[in-house]
Amino acid sequence: MSYSGPEKRKNPRADGRFIVSYRVMENNGNNDITQTKNLSLGGMLLTTNCSFAPGTNLALEIRLPFDPNSIMLIGKVLESKEISKDVIYDTRLVFLAIDERHRKVIGDTVGYYIKSKKG
């Protein structure tokens, strides 16, 4: 079922599969690796193997095609929705802090993927 109401997001999202390493901020170990479903300047949707409570802060490391270095970010969980019982969750995050260089790299990536999809 797709949503047909008005768009509420401030930033356009690009569908794209980018590799992300994540962990709960308070835990120093337990990194997990997944991929994004979509990405914007404001946040991302990723697939996780467990549910996270809204408000949980995750340390994120993402690799994007327009930067040879990985980008380190902090994201706050908005929602974690079960997709496959006890196995797969769609987890929506909002970025808490992002510097200008990383903002540009994410913006370039999102712009490229949106433009290439319209092609």
Q: What is the DSSP string of 56-119?
A: -EEEEEE--TT-SS-EEEEEEEEEEEEEETTTEEEEEEEEEE--HHHHHHHHHHHHHHHHHHH-
What CATH superfamily classification does 14-113 receive?
Answer: predicted glycosyltransferase like domains (2.40.10.220)
Alpha carbon of residue 90 to chain centroid = 10
Predicted local distance difference test score (pLDDT) of residue 80: 96
Q: Give domain limits for the chain.
A: 14-113
**pLDDT tens, the chain, 119 aa long:** 443 444 455 788 999 899 999 999 887 777 899 999 999 999 999 999 999 999 999 999 999 988 899 999 999 999 999 999 988 999 999 999 888 999 999 999 999 999 887 75
